Amino acid sequence: MSGGLAGIAGLAVLPLPWPFEREYMQLALAAGLVIGICAPLIGTFLVQQRLSLMGDGIGHLALAGIAAGLLLEVWPVWSAMVVAAVGALSIEWLRSRRRATSDLALALWFYGGIAGGVVLASRSTGGSGAILPYLFGSILTVDRSEVLLVVLLGLGIVVAVAAFGRTLFAIVIDEESARVAGLPVGAGNALLAVLTAVTVVAAMQVVGVLLVAALMVLPVATSRNLARSFRGTLAGAAGIGAFAVVAGLAAARQWALAPGGSIVLVAAGTFAVVGVVGGRTGTRRTVLVEAPAPGTAPVTGRDPHEDHDHDHPGSGSG
Amino acid sequence: MTAAGATGPAVLAAHGVSFAYGADPAVTAVDLTVTPGEFVALVGPNGSGKSTLLRLLLGLLTPDAGTVELLGHPPRALRERWRVGYVPQRRILDLDVPATVTEVVASGRTARRGWWKPPRPADRAAVEHALDAVAIADLRRRPVGALSGGQQQRVLIARALVAEPTVLVLDEPIAGVDRESQRLFRDSLVHLVEHHDTAVLLVSHELGAVADDLDRVVVLQRRVRFDGPPSELAATGVHLGVHADDLPRWLEDLQA
Ligand SMILES: Nc1ncnc2c1ncn2[C@@H]1O[C@H](COP(=O)(O)OP(=O)(O)OP(=O)(O)O)[C@@H](O)[C@H]1O
Ligand SMILES: [Mg+2]
């Protein structure tokens, strides 16, 4: 990140080793690291809230926002931000009012967004091709002002997570109890929705709307399998996201691959490797269980009404 | 336990409360008050409306008829919400969270501290205290998803205790908890009631552990069928032992 900031400040190109010795790679690295760190931070809360595909739904809406901006001849980032934020809040509203299940609400925006984007873009001067750069991102051609925008949005996301993370945690693990305790559940959920929109728009030029959601989910899925604490899950997800950006950019440079896709493939590969090494398949949590502490009373009587479709890996044994 | 409980303003009150999810009423014309320092058990067969009544009392549901007061206020108007502690029925809460026991318990303190503030030493001390109260200090660094059902239940109890609430509402908190932990749980509830004047409203199918400590028992089957001291209920032949199998039979007789 500091490399990008130095670049923005107009300083000399930093003496970084291959593959980041060139200025365009340093700018790509700066923008990529911000997204690689921020997207999983937000994603950790979304995954816990069973809104893993939120980033995807918002991404498609942001695309419609881009197309609207091109048509109205306003800065597309602004129009995308407005449309994405309004869309995110409306998904949250539908979810909280139970007007629609979250996956139905997401599907609505997912398809409505991409259809709206294509239709709006076909009316603009560039034709539907004008939205293509936002579909797949163009991280290798970001300029300094774009990097600066990404860095500022990223800082906002990190500050918000640092300040409100504990409240968001209490809400995503048990919304009803958080409500009883008087936590601002509605405001917290709205904040999360807006942060998702900000992340998507910031990531649009870097990995593209089609792939930003992957960075919100894949590093989180990997980290959930490794970490024991929520704090550790957040840190691990951000670390894996950052690793995917560095390795993905290096691979893209070496073999002339599409950078956004390479970054996401590294994130997916990391998940697969951790899943295999962890010895489990599927999405089930792999929990590293320590030996039961002495004096821990074993459970004898279980609730006879309890449903049995959850099993608790390693409960009492290990 | 405390006769003084009969005086003072109610911490929880329902006046003629009715509620239906769809066409079928879940609770009908329920009157219930709990005063400071009172220890009240709410019992009834499955589907008798116990959880629904708790959700109404906590302001999570709005009654179709009647009114509810929480610490003397309509639930929406109450400011110090953290003074109400709530342990939800665990089987409707998915604890597959990548979080440690300490993190989950500490989350119960967020509202009391002020949600924008970082934890202070007093908050950390309260967490330690709550962990000890239900004897899960040994488990503090374990991920909650890796605990047994009974251990998870104790985590939820600690999360409610950590805010040091004025009134504690527990929905089947000791389901699946072993006898030794039930005893610990009883001791911590009795301590709260006696030394902190905390009012407790407890829904449970297993009242054996606390039967001697209760001020009142309320039997619910859509309506309030009984509201009085446990000895009076025992006099009708109903015992509050494990699963209180005689309760449904007694209710059937009442209706006949
Ligand atoms: N969310 C809901 N939607 C529709 N009906 C519901 C809902 N929750 C409960 N009910 C119905 O309301 C009635 C009372 O349910 P409630 O959960 O209050 O019972 P309970 O006494 O807590 O039972 P249990 O001992 O099984 O916990 C039941 O008939 C139940 O089917
Ligand atoms: Mg219930």
HSE, CB side, 13 Å, CA atoms: give it for residue A216.
34
Contact A64, A113 (CB under 8 A): yes
d(CA A119, CA A121): 5
Contact B179, B173 (CB under 8 A): no
Tell which phi-psi region holds residue B13, choosing left (phi > 0), alpha (psi between -120 and 50) or beta. Answer: beta
What's the pLDDT score for residue B210? 81
CA-nearest residue, atom 19 of ligand 1: B47
Q: Which of these, A43, A54, A34, lies nearest to A107 by C-alpha position?
A: A54
Of B91 and A67, the structure prediction assigns the larger pLDDT to A67
Confidence of residue A73 (pLDDT cuts 50, 70, 90): confident
Contact (CB<8Å) B97/A48: yes
Contact (CB<8Å) A224/B98: yes
Apex CA B36: angle with CA B34 and CA B42, to 5°?
30
Apex CA A26: angle with CA A20 and CA A30, to 5°?
125
- Give the contacts of A68 (CB within 8 A, at least 6 positions apart): A79, A83, A120
Contact (CB<8Å) A177/B142: no
| Residue B52 Cβ contacting ligand 1 at under 6 Å | yes
Strand ranges in chain B using DSSP code E only, listed in sequence order:
12-20, 25-34, 39-43, 65-70, 84-87, 167-171, 199-203, 216-221, 223-228
Supply the pTM of this predicted model.
Answer: 0.86
What's the pLDDT score for residue B2? 45
Decide if pLDDT at B49 tops 90: yes
| Window B:9-68, CB contacts with A under 8 Å | 46, 58-60
Nearest bound ligand to the CA of residue B42 = 1
Span A12-22, pLDDT tens digits: 688 888 899 99
How does strand B25-34 pair with strand B12-20? antiparallel
B214: how many CB neighbours lie within 10 A of its CB?
Answer: 21
Contact (CB<8Å) A228/B100: yes
List of chain A residues whose C-beta atoms are within 8 Å of the C-beta of residue B46: 305
Sheet holding B12-20, edge to edge: B25-34, B12-20, B65-70
Report the complex ipTM. 0.89
Confidence of residue B55 (pLDDT cuts 50, 70, 90): very high
What's the pLDDT score for residue A110? 80
Query: At A296, is the secondary structure helix, strand, or coil?
Result: coil
Decide if pLDDT at B217 tops 70: yes
- Domain ranges in chain A? 2-302
| Second CATH level (architecture) for the domain B12-255 | 3-Layer(aba) Sandwich (3.40)
- Domain ranges in chain B? 12-255
Residues of chain A with pLDDT > 90: what percent? 48
Of A163, A181, A314, the CB nearest to B81: A181
d(CA B204, CA A17): 65
Of A163, A170, A297, the CB nearest to B107: A170
Q: Which atom of ligand 1 is nearest to the CA of B45?
A: 25
| Residue B18 Cβ contacting ligand 1 at under 6 Å | no
| Residue B204 Cβ contacting ligand 1 at under 6 Å | no
d(CA A103, CA A165): 24
CATH superfamily, with its number, for domain A2-302: ABC transporter involved in vitamin B12 uptake, BtuC (1.10.3470.10)
